[in-house]
Amino acid sequence: MRDHTDTEPGTHRLTKWLDGRLTRLGLTGVFPRDCLLAATLTVSTFVLLTVLFRFVAPAEGVTFDPARAGLLIAVCSAQAMLLCLRRVRPLLCLALIVGLQLPIIGVSLPEEATIRGIAPFIAAYTVGSLLPVRRALLAVGVAVAVESIGVAVVVIPDVLTALAYVSASALTYASATFVGGYVATHRRYVELVRVRADEAIREQHTKVQAAIGAERSRMARELHDVAAHHLSGMVVQAAAVERLIDRDPAAAKAGVAWIRSQGKETLDNLRLVVGVLRGRPGHEGGDGAAPVPGLGMLDDLVRTAGSLAGPVEFVREGEQREVPPIADVALYRIVQESLSNARQHAPGAAARVVLRFAPRSVSLEVVNDPAAPRRVPAARTGGVGLVGMRERAQLIGATFAAGPTAAGGWSVTATLPTNGPATSRPKEEAPA
């Protein structure tokens, strides 16, 4: 089981630096690194106990039999060596260290000294950090019980000494276990916070990308609807003017004037689109006079389309009523794009636009007849008209269908569900 590093900023940098150093030395696994820790503590234990028994204790008037001192140094060093198992086999490591603590008790207590190395503390800390709380407490409870039995066997007459040693043993193991459990809980909490932060960042990134994609699609739809409709008509009219320049200069002059007016209208509509994309309603055009397109402007749209190509008939069915603004614009754009496609792919063919107001829906249908023999070249597009119309229909919750008719023409239909009639405005059928 892998031991996580501390997550405090300073400690994290230190452990990251140490991890890099150990990795460069080839110590990449848990066991090799614990072996290095065990070797370091073994040497430290040997040196510290040697100094204690040879120099510090005699200076304080406490003497140890050399054989006993040597045995204590050897057993404590062996305890430190067992720490190489602390993460691969934590319970076995704790059991062996407790087992070696019994001879330490037997050697040190008769000399009226309490010797305890750092190995028991580290072993209990590791158990607390790696095992569930109940298993960890059970393990250290058994360790304290075993040491208590050892103390009772060695110093049965001296009750106070036995209680003092057992209390110190219980405090050592319990405190180390609780520290290990706290550190493990803190690491799990920080890891959870990090994971949630990463998820939040990914989610925010996804939302930003989706918003960018939606805005790009919106811009593409608006620009395509405005530019394609007007520019395709201008291309058709320019081709006709080219053929009339020599034969009928007056008609050619009138065609050029129409192209100029369409160019001005295109610029006005582009200003409208830019204003909408900038989120400034009421300031769409340079002078604020450009109207927002909607179903109320279908008459002008049909009239313009009829003057460019074949005849276009416009029929209203049912009692006209208001629709939401976004749906009003979207339905207008669908008709606009449908007529533009008819002009591009079936120049000269008759078309029919039907606007139906049913009790629970508003529907549009644009149907054109089969293409007539082409006298002028059709304008080419990038093939995004149907995609834009379908996206607009999905945006307002309308159903959309497009496909060839039985007669060889083309049909586009869009149906918007509504809550029923609201403010009604009766209007007569208006064929264009």
Q: Count other C-beta atoms under 10 Å from residue 297's C-beta.
A: 15
Distance (Å, rounded) from C-alpha 195 to C-alpha 288? Answer: 50
Tell me the average pLDDT across 397-409. Answer: 89
pLDDT band at 374 (very low <50, low <70, confident <90, very high): very low
Nearest C-alpha neighbor of 333 from the set 271, 264, 262, 386: 386
Query: What's residue 377's pLDDT?
Result: 41
Query: What's residue 329's pLDDT?
Result: 83
pLDDT at position 358 over 50: yes
Query: What's residue 9's pLDDT?
Result: 53
Query: What's residue 292's pLDDT?
Result: 63
Q: Percentage of residues in the chain with pLDDT exceeding 90?
A: 30
pLDDT at position 178 over 90: yes
Q: How many CA atoms lie within 13 A of 244 on its CB side?
A: 17
Nearest C-alpha neighbor of 365 from the set 405, 329, 419, 326: 405
pLDDT in tens, 228-246: 666 666 777 677 777 778 7
Query: What's residue 45's pLDDT?
Result: 93
Tokens matching residue 32:
């090799």
More confident residue, 335 or 64: 335
pLDDT at position 177 over 80: yes
**What residues have CB less than 8 Å from 179, skipping those under 6 apart?**
125, 128
pLDDT in tens, 209-225: 887 777 667 666 666 66
- The dihedrals phi and psi of 347, each to the nearest 5 degrees, come to -60, 135
Query: What's residue 40's pLDDT?
Result: 94
More confident residue, 253 or 33: 33
pLDDT in tens, 406-424: 888 889 999 999 875 544 4
Contact between residue 300 and residue 339 where contact means Cβ atoms under 8 Å apart: no
Mean of the per-residue pLDDT values for the chain? 79
pLDDT at position 11 over 70: no
Q: Which of 9-18, 52-61, 80-89, 410-419 has the lowest mean pLDDT?
A: 9-18
**What residues have CB less than 8 Å from 194, skipping those under 6 apart?**
none
Helix (H) or strand (E) holding 367: strand 361-368
pLDDT at position 277 over 80: no
Query: What's residue 112's pLDDT?
Result: 58
Query: What's residue 162's pLDDT?
Result: 76
- The dihedrals phi and psi of 317, each to the nearest 5 degrees, come to -125, 135
Distance (Å, rounded) from C-alpha 215 to C-alpha 51? Answer: 76
- The dihedrals phi and psi of 367, each to the nearest 5 degrees, come to -130, 135
More confident residue, 55 or 223: 55
Nearest C-alpha neighbor of 238 from the set 380, 382, 376: 376
Nearest C-alpha neighbor of 86 from the set 141, 115, 124, 44: 124
Query: What's residue 406's pLDDT?
Result: 86
Domain boundaries, the chain: 9-203, 294-432
Q: How many CA atoms lie within 13 A of 304 on its CB side?
A: 20
Distance (Å, rounded) from C-alpha 352 to C-alpha 346? Answer: 13
**What residues have CB less than 8 Å from 261, skipping those under 6 apart?**
none
pLDDT in tens, 300-333: 888 877 776 678 899 999 888 888 888 888 888 8
Nearest C-alpha neighbor of 378 from the set 217, 260, 233, 251: 233
Distance (Å, rounded) from C-alpha 107 to C-alpha 166? Answer: 16
Query: What's residue 152's pLDDT?
Result: 80
Q: Count other C-beta atoms under 10 Å from residue 386's C-beta.
A: 15
pLDDT at position 126 over 90: yes
Distance (Å, rounded) from C-alpha 82 to C-alpha 39? Answer: 9
Beta pairing partners, 417: 361
pLDDT at position 291 over 70: no
pLDDT at position 426 over 50: no
**Strand 312-317, strand 351-358: pairing:** parallel
Beta pairing partners, 368: 351, 410
Distance (Å, rounded) from C-alpha 268 to C-alpha 46? Answer: 91
Q: Count other C-beta atoms under 10 Å from residue 370's C-beta.
A: 13
Query: What's residue 55's pLDDT?
Result: 87
Q: Calculate Rg over the CA atoms of the chain.
A: 44
DSSP H helices in 52-89: 57-59, 66-81
The angle formed by the CA atoms of residues 220, 222 and 228, to the nearest 5 degrees, is: 85
Q: 42-77 burial by CB neighbour count: b if 16+ within 10 A, else e?
A: beebeeebeebbeeebeeeeeebeeebbebbbebbb
Query: What's residue 288's pLDDT?
Result: 44
Q: Which of 31-40, 206-215, 372-381 has the lowest mean pLDDT?
A: 372-381
pLDDT at position 348 over 70: yes
Query: What's residue 6's pLDDT?
Result: 42
Fold classified for 294-432:
Heat Shock Protein 90 (3.30.565)
pLDDT at position 402 over 70: yes
